[in-house]
Amino acid sequence: MERANGTLQDRLIKEMRLRGIRTIEEANRYLPTFIEEYNRKFGKEPRSTEDAHRPLREHDDLERIFARRSSRKVSKDLSFQYEGTFYQIKPNLPNRFGYERVNILARPGKPILVEAGGKEHPYTKWEKEAQHEKPKIFDSKELEAHWPSRLPRTPGRYHPWR
């Protein structure tokens, strides 16, 4: 298909240049003629006139079929990261799930689906951690009061300085 598009873009411009077409209105009037000539020159008749498309079945879920799929490895705590957000799986048997791969199905405008082993699994989305307070800045006089005290250490029994 890409090759055909490249040919069309290249050939159409050259044909328009040869015919002296300079405006969009002239190009729009010429386009049906070009398509007809192009199809006559390069088109082929199908070997069979039978329509090979099968009808959509009742249990076919188009949202699931056309979902964007990706795979992630689950950590020991049953979490994974997808598009900068952490998620944690809530399976029935958590002991069998660590370090497994899960499939993520992203559908436009809907929450993601997480599935493994042919089953869909519930999950929770980790919220951003609460903002921590800024650390207090001490001046040099206050710093000594907050510094952990060092007790004098006596060397061990067989230490050479003893």
Domain boundaries, the chain: 2-42, 62-125
Contact 79, 86 (CB under 8 A): yes
Instruction: Note the helical H segments in the chain.
Output: 2-18, 24-42, 62-65, 140-146
User: Which has more confidence, 81 or 133?
Assistant: 81
Q: Which H or E element spans position 125? A: strand 123-125
Identity of the amino acid at 85: T
pTM over 0.75: no
- 74-126 tens-digit pLDDT: 888 888 999 888 998 887 776 777 778 999 999 988 999 999 888 888 999 88
* % residues pLDDT > 90 (the chain): 30
Torsion over CA: 23, 28, 33, 34 (sign): positive
